[in-house]
Structure formats: structure tokens, C-alpha cells
Amino acid sequence: METKTARSRRTLPLPPTVLTALRRHQEHQAAERFDADNRAGPGLVFATAVGTPLHPRNDYRSFREIIRRAGLRQVRLHDLRHTAASVLLAQGVPARVVMEILDHSQISVTLNIYAHLAPEVAREAAARLEGALWSGE
């Protein structure tokens, strides 16, 4: 599948739990395709019942249904990107790393969008400095 830009095609690290879930899903889809005697799209993790790529509109409908069944408030799929970035920054992941994961062209983009997290991150940094310098007292 083509990406918006050549730079968009890259490998991202995933938490082991997510990687395991994606592999399990891909195996399940491969078994479904085999049972249906359909070999189309074997490299896709998310595909239609006949193995073709999902249409973005259908993908979004499925996402909304999952959210509804889970009893969560409706959010845009793109909001998950913001959530991931916010969690990474709050966990102390350097802004430069978050910038690369999000594929922002400049660090200022990342810092401007997530500036609201700066006070929380600064407090955590101060606490870590305290622990590093005066932990023995």
C-alpha cells in the first residue's frame, strides 16, 4: 500500500503486547482466508473478509463500533495518536523520540502541540533531579 510520502514508510517499535496481539490477529485472518479458500492479500494484518485492504470509511465504522461496545466515549481515530504522544511524553520519553514516532518534520511541531504537558513533565524532572542529587540524605 502506498504512503502519503516516501518518508512515511518506516518501521516503528511496538510494545511486545501489541505485537503479540497483531500477530494473533494476522494468524486468525490467515485461517479465515484459508477456510474460505481465499488467498488474496496475505500480507495484510487488517483486511476485508475477502482479503482486500480495508476502506478507511469502513475502518472508522468498525472503530466506532468497538468504542461503543466497550462503553467508552466516542473519539476520533486520530485522537488515539494524541493519546499515545501524551502518554509517551508523560512517561518521560524525550520529545525528539516522540517527534520521530509521530513523524513530525520539526521538534517545534511536537512541542507546540503537546505544550500543555510541559508543567507535568517539568515537575517529574524536578523530582528525578531531587532523587539523583539528594537520595542519600
- pLDDT for res 96: 92
The Cα 129–Cα 131 span in angstroms is 5
Give alpha helix (H) positions in 91-117. 95-102, 107-113
Q: What angle do CA 120, 121, 125 make, to 5 degrees?
A: 120
Scan for cell 472503530, then name that residue: 63
Residue-by-residue pLDDT tens, the chain, 137 positions: 577 777 777 888 889 999 999 989 888 877 776 666 655 556 677 777 777 788 888 888 989 999 999 999 999 988 998 989 988 988 888 889 999 999 888 999 888 888 777 777 778 888 888 999 997 66
Task: Please answer whether residues 89 and 114 qualify as being in contact, where contact means their C-beta atoms are separated by less than 8 angstroms.
Answer: yes
Q: Is the dihedral of CA 11, 17, 20, 22 positive or negative?
A: negative
Nearest in space to 102 (alpha carbons), one of 114, 115, 90: 114
- pLDDT for res 137: 61
pTM, entire model: 0.68
Counting beta carbons within 10 angstroms of the beta carbon of residue 89, is it exposed (0 to 12), middle (13 to 18) or buried (19 or more)?
Answer: buried
Give alpha helix (H) positions in 5-90. 16-35, 56-70, 77-90
- For 38, 54, 100, the CA distances from 85, given in Å and listed in that order, are 38, 25, 11
- pLDDT for res 70: 95
